Amino acid sequence: MSVIDFLFGRALRSSEERSEKLGAAAGIPVFGLDALSSAAYGPEAALTLLIPLGAAGIAYIAPITISIVILLLIVYFSYRQTIEAYPQGGGSYTVAGQNLGAFAGLLAATALMIDYVLTAAVGISAGVGALVSAMPTLQPRTLPLCLAILLLITLVNLRGSRETGAIFMAPTYLFLGTLGTTILVGIVKAIVAGGHPRPVEAPLALPAASAAVSLWLLLKSFASGCTAMTGVEAVSNGVAAFREPVANTARRTLTTIIVFLAVMLLGIAYLCRAYRIGAAESGPGYQSVLSQLIAAVAGRNIFYFVTIGSILLVLSFSANTAFADFPRLCRLIAQDGYLPAPLAERGRRLVYTWGIITLAVVCGILLIFFGGVTDRLIPLFAVGAFLAFTLSQAGMVAHWRRKGGARIHILLNGLGAVATAATVIIVIITKFVAGAWITTLLIPLIMLMMFSIRRHYERLQAQISEAAPLDVNKRTSPIVVMPMMAWTRVSRAGLQFAMQICTEVHIVHVTSEGGDKDLASSWRKIIEEPLRRAGMPMPQVKVLKSPYRFVIAPIVDYVLELEKKCPGRQIAVIIPELVEKHWYHNFLHNRRATWLKAALLMKGDRRIVIIDVPWYVDD
């Protein structure tokens, strides 16, 4: 057990829950890494689609970023209200489910779940991708590096919320500090230089324009840039994880995250324009927008490398938001019976162990399948997040109307719903062919699975519940069947137990050769004589021929036949089992007891009971 303690920490009492709660400072790395790290790829994603416009394209990054930031603020105010209204944890699932019905809730939840899985895989792979492009010798190690980071994040999350916050705090604040400083210094330099600062290191030359500007292109750029907004719902989903006063702490965390993100997005857009930095085509000589920007503002010195390093770390660890929220979301759905019940159980460190493991496994499969390079998954993104946003805002509108909330509340959430709904439509249309169709196909499939899980639970409940009171008249003792190969202390222990619980024993002996026919008679002395002397009932000895050398099948057949012959009686199969001290000694035996138990459980029915009489080997 000490290995487990070392890896996952000692078990936590349920009463220690309070000390696992998060303050705002720790909440940012736990729930905000996904949103904040978007600053590193959102602007790049928008600028990449502007490449065909050449130098002229850079002019459009400002209005696009401003639109995104306005959308972000709408969503922010919207979620602030949600936190207030649902301090017990108001994710899209809860809000949409309680106000628009179970279907809407599950639709939002499914969309979010897909998004979390994608966030985790793409985040890790983006971080490792950036590292590998900085150190090309690591190229062949891409997949192992991805899996190592996945394992690290999984382990940290299994250790509990508080430790996760503590561990990811340093890289988060390093990232905010260095990138924030870069942006601040850049803006000051630009203003001092009258809007046209001289770059310390010149950014890449912008290509010639190869296309004219069009609404379609700008919409696509906007939709791509919107990936920067995934992860914003994380805080409202995990309100319950925060310290008292819960709503207050959660709101403070959300505000901090959004302010940082908005400032970074606007700052980057401004500096791109001032320094004339555009996205580069991938290929040799490629440099990311942020790399160009930092080099332009600060030069390629130690500060540059620290900043780039912190970006890599934050990108890889952005997967952590998924690990914080996915299990909590699964737990809520599982509590309502739409997902397997174990997902709702808290493990030894008070986190939802099975949710974390599920996410890690699915994410690992994606990483392995794509060899650690998940670029092709990026277009699948954002559909889920914005679908969940929309349903959650719409749910809030319904909530206020039912509760008779202030008009301003309805207005804010309504605005949020309309804006995010419009964005969903733009994202689906502009990215449909590139992969968003996969998401729109996956969502109904997963929902179908959820509904059938719920139906299964309901049927099961109907079958096992409303049990009648104990029936005291049904007391005929069971018939015992016991397989016996030879008279050893192991089988003796079994028979001795059989005699304690009933008077009708069938001893079954399977023989393939026909050579041990007189075994039954040799047992007479050992078994029958003592019984006769005591005037007790005799066991029946059945010799079963097995021409195919099978041992399990004839015993199971005998039990099933006996059950048919004795309606209303229970058949107890006693299986004497030799238990070795060390697991590797199991290889020395044919483990028939184990197989027989499994076969009986598989082929048996409610009247057949399996009794395991273990006989432990002494050292």
Site for its own copies in 332-351 (CB under 8 A): 340-342, 345-348
Contact status: 49 vs its own copies (CB under 8 A): no
Look up residue 275 and give its two tokens: 């320094």
| List 469, 515, 567, 568, residue binding its own copies (CB under 8 A) | 469
User: Using CB under 8 A, which of 467, 515, 567, 568 touches its own copies?
Assistant: 467
Residue 342 phi/psi, 5-degree rounding, is -60, -25
Contact call for residues 613 and 493 (beta carbons, < 8 A): yes
Helices (H) and strands (E) in the chain — how many of each?
22, 5
For 536, phi and psi rounded to 5 degrees?
Answer: -105, 160
- Residue 465 binds to its own copies (criterion: CB under 8 A): yes
616 binds its own copies (CB under 8 A): yes
Q: Does 612 bind its own copies (CB under 8 A)?
A: yes
59: closest CA among 211, 276, 212?
Answer: 276
Residues 433-462 that bind its own copies (CB under 8 A): 453, 456-457, 460
Size of the site for its own copies (CB under 8 A): 86
| 604 near its own copies (CB under 8 A) | yes
Give Cα separations from 428 to 113, 186, 431, 472 (angstroms).
17, 36, 5, 64
282 touches its own copies by CB under 8 A: no
Residues 6+ apart with CB under 8 A from 612: 575, 577, 593, 597
Asked whether position 534 contacts its own copies by CB under 8 A, the answer is yes
Using CB under 8 A as the binding rule, whether residue 355 contacts its own copies is answered as no
504 binds its own copies (CB under 8 A): no
Q: Does 485 bind its own copies (CB under 8 A)?
A: no
284: number of Cβ within 10 Å? 5
Burial of 609 (0-12, 13-18, 19+ CB in 10 A): middle
Q: According to CB under 8 A, which one of 153, 217, 508, 608 is a site residue for its own copies?
A: 608
Closer CB to its own copies, 6 or 584, in the complex: 584
* Residue 14 lies near its own copies (rule: CB under 8 A): yes
Residue 15: how many other CB atoms lie within 10 Å: 7
Smallest distance, Å, CB 368 to its own copies?
A: 17
* Shortest Å distance, C-beta 362 to its own copies: 14
Residue with Cβ nearer its own copies (54 or 342)? 342
284 binds its own copies (CB under 8 A): no
Closest CA to 318 of 381, 269, 376, 397: 381
**CA-CA distance, 228 to 222, in Å (whole number)?**
10
Closest distance between its own copies and the C-beta of residue 207, in Å? 37
* 100-159 positions binding its own copies, by CB under 8 A: none
Q: Which is nearer to its own copies, 334 or 396 (CB)?
A: 334
Instruction: Write the binding mask 285 to 324 for its own copies: x where contact by CB under 8 A, - elsewhere.
Output: ----------------------------------------
Is 207 within 8 Å of 54 (Cβ atoms)?
A: yes
x/- track of binding to its own copies for residues 537-576 (CB under 8 A): ----------xxxx-------------------x-x----
Alpha-carbon dihedral sign for residues 362, 365, 371, 376: negative
Question: How big is the chain, counted in residues?
Answer: 619
Taking CB under 8 A as the rule, does residue 513 contact its own copies?
Answer: yes
CA atoms within 13 A on the CB side of 495: 24
